[in-house]
Amino acid sequence: MQSEISVRDLGKIYKIPVRGQGLLSSFKSLIHPVYTEVSAVNNISFDIQKEEMVGFIGPNGAGKTTTLKMLSGLLYPTSGNITVAGYKPYERKREYLKKISMIMGNKSQMNPSITVMDSFYVTKEIYQISDEDYKRRLGELVDLLSIEELLPKLSRNLSLGERAKCEFVMALLYCPDIVFLDEPTLGMDVSIQLRLRSFIKEYNKRYNTTFLLTSHYMSDITSLCSRVILINKGELMYDGDLQHLGDKLLPFKLIKVVFSDANIRFEDIKKHVKGDLTLVNQNEQTFLIRARKDDISQTSYTILSNFIVNDLTIEDPEIESLIDLVYSNGVNV
Ligand SMILES: Nc1ncnc2c1ncn2[C@@H]1O[C@H](COP(=O)(O)OP(=O)(O)OP(=O)(O)O)[C@@H](O)[C@H]1O
Quote the number of domains for the chain.
2
Whole-prediction pTM value? 0.81
Per-residue pLDDT for 330 more than 60?
Answer: no
Residue 196 and residue 259 in one domain: no
Domain boundary among 246, 271, 303: 246
Q: Tens digit of pLDDT for each residue in 53-79?
A: 999 998 888 999 999 999 999 999 999
Separation of CA 244 and ligand 1 centre (Å): 28
Average pLDDT of the segment spanning 146-158:
94
- Residue 197, φ and ψ in degrees, nearest 5: -60, -45
Task: Show which of 246, 271, 288 is a domain's final residue.
Answer: 246
pLDDT of 327? 67
Q: Is 87 helix (H, G, I), strand (E, B) or coil?
A: strand
One domain for residues 77 and 148: yes
Structure confidence at residue 294 as a pLDDT band (50, 70, 90): confident
What's the gap in Å between 63 CA and the centre of ligand 1? 6
Residue that finishes a domain, picked among 213, 228, 246:
246
How remote is the CA of residue 60 from the centroid of ligand 1, in Å?
Answer: 8
Which DSSP state fits 295? G
Q: Quick check: is 260 in a domain?
A: yes
178-182: strand order across its sheet: 100-104, 178-182, 210-214, 53-57, 227-232, 235-241
Per DSSP bridges, beta strands 252-259 and 235-241 are unpaired
Identify whether 324 is part of a domain. Answer: no
CA–CA dist 109, 224 (Å, integer): 24
Residue 328 resides in a domain: no
Q: What is the CATH number of the domain that holds 45?
A: 3.40.50.300
> Do 162 and 279 share a structural domain?
no
pLDDT at 328: 63
DSSP string, 47-73: EE-TT-EEEEE-STTSSHHHHHHHHHT
Tens digit of each residue's pLDDT (9 = 90 or more) over 167-218:
999 999 999 999 999 998 887 788 888 988 998 999 999 899 999 999 888 8
Handedness of CA 117, 119, 121, 127 (dihedral sign): negative
Counting residues of the chain whose pLDDT is more than 90, the rounded percentage is 63
Nearest CA to ligand 1 atom 28: 61
Is it the case that residue 275 has pLDDT exceeding 60?
Answer: yes
Task: Give the number of the atom of ligand 1 that is nearest the alpha carbon of residue 58.
Answer: 21
* Pair 180, 269 in one domain: no
The Cα-based distances of 65 to 58, 70, 84 in angstroms read 11, 9, 17
**Structural domain for 144, as ranges:** 5-246
SS3 217: coil
